[in-house]
Amino acid sequence: MKITKPNNKICAMCIHWNGPLGGKSVKPRIGMMNVFEFDPQEKNICYKNHFNKAAWHSCNQWQNKF
Ligand code: SF4
């Protein structure tokens, strides 16, 4: 697992990654404010551009989810 902030422009923190469900591995890190953990190996369909994207990917259509 890796950790990240909500304003980090990666797919794991984007509203379009796997649509309303989001990433299965993405959850708040217990005991840390404003920090999320995610599995960098997880891949999901982007509902914006319809490509299969890994959690750590990014693009210029990123929008914050959290
Ligand atoms: S490819 Fe872009 S729009 Fe799609 S989930 Fe990743 S950052 Fe968001």
Domain parsing of the chain, residue ranges: 2-54
- Report the C-alpha gap between 59 and 10 in whole angstroms: 8
What pLDDT shows up at residue 32? Answer: 95
Confidence of residue 20 (pLDDT cuts 50, 70, 90): very high
The structure's pTM equals 0.96
- Report the C-alpha gap between 31 and 49 in whole angstroms: 34
17 lines ligand 1 (CB under 6 A): yes
Task: Give mean pLDDT, residues 17-33.
Answer: 97
26 lines ligand 1 (CB under 6 A): no
Nearest CA to ligand 1 atom 2: 59
Residues 48, 1 contacting (CB under 8 angstroms): no
- Report the C-alpha gap between 3 and 18 in whole angstroms: 19
